[in-house]
Amino acid sequence: MESKWYQQFFYGLAVDMWRKAVNEDRTREEADFIVEGLNLQQNARILDVPCGLGRLSIELSLRGYQMTGVDLSQESIVEARQNSEAAGLQIEWIHTDMNALDETFGPEQFDGAFCFGNSFGYADYNSTTEFLRKLSRSLKTSAKFVMDTGLTAESLLPNLPGRKWYKIDDMYMLSDALYDVESSQLRTQYTFIRDGAVQTGNAVYHLHTVAELKRLFRICGFEVEALYGSTKRDAYRVGNQQLLVVSRKSL
């Protein structure tokens, strides 16, 4: 299976599933958490990476922040641009790989950044390290970075997903997951079904322990300030499905 599976995964039914999976209430709750975590004044410049369909960038732009969204999915960027223009918002949308931040932005361009939607963990250790170092370079001194992930070992291992069906609106999704102990990878085959149309895709998620994440952040120029188990800011515990990390650029 190719290491950069996400380059070919997000199109068609896979994008539509994400469009339907997150409601407006959750978007507002996540935006509230990001605003509190980044602790920035309105009009601050914030990087959303990767931005997907742009739901959080649009919400934060409505609240008065200057938003830049980066994503590898051309389909997602096109829709994000259409939605922001329809709302009369000026948001910078850039179609590129999140590991190419140094090719897109100069140093110290942003007042803060966030990575939501479970994208952290898509890439292997080397690529993840490269992303964090380039992200640190693009942030101003002492800027904050907020991350959301469900791919820590403490979240997944107590409740390995296995084979499970999901129904989201008019769509069905089959997730068939297998955890490989030697590589610490969760290898998942997805099947999306709607109105007789079927789309499949394979994903490889790279798991870290929380301690490993903190060390990785540190060597890439970030100091972790807080770990939460939900957007309500309760302390992260083993078995929580979500880990939210608030960190600050330290180098």
Give the CATH number for residue 38. Answer: 3.40.50.150
Q: How much is the pLDDT for 18?
A: 87
Q: Residue 142 corresponds to which tokens in the numbers above?
A: 């002492």
The pLDDT value given to residue 118: 80
Residue 12 lies in a domain: yes
100 in the same domain as 188: no
The whole-number pLDDT of residue 1 equals 41
On whether both 145 and 168 belong to a single domain, the answer is no
Domain shared by 170 and 63, yes or no:
no
Is residue 1 a part of any domain in this protein? Answer: no
Tokens of 123: 């890439």
The confidence score (pLDDT) of residue 201 equals 95
Q: Are residues 121 and 31 in the same domain?
A: yes
46 in a structural domain: yes
Question: Domain total for the chain?
Answer: 2
Pairing relationship of beta strands 110-115 and 92-95 according to DSSP bridges: unpaired
Residues 114 and 14 in one domain: yes
Closest to 243 measured CA to CA, from 234, 184, 9: 234
Do 59 and 144 have their domain in common?
yes
Give residue 21's pLDDT. Answer: 87
| Single-letter residue type at 199 | Q
The CATH number covering residue 169 comes to 2.20.25
Q: Tell whether 85 is covered by a domain.
A: yes
Q: Are residues 192 and 244 in the same domain?
A: no
Query: What's the confidence (pLDDT) of residue 154?
Result: 97
Contacts of 192 (CB under 8 A, 6+ apart): 12, 13, 14, 16, 17, 171, 172, 173, 198, 199, 200, 201
- Both 59 and 142 in a single domain? yes
Contacts of 237 (CB under 8 A, 6+ apart): 229
**Is 223 within a domain?**
yes
User: Are 125 and 244 in the same domain?
Assistant: yes
Shared-domain flag, residues 119 and 172: no
Domain span holding position 169: 155-204
Which two three-digit tokens encode residue 229?
A: 């188990």
pLDDT recorded at residue 3 = 62
Bridge partner residues of 243 (DSSP) = 149
- The token duo for 62 is 């409505």
pLDDT score of 2: 42
User: Do both 22 and 122 map to the same domain?
Assistant: yes
Q: Model-level pTM?
A: 0.93
Q: Which amino acid is at 172?
A: Y
Residues in the chain with pLDDT < 70? 1-3
Q: Are residues 167 and 146 in the same domain?
A: no
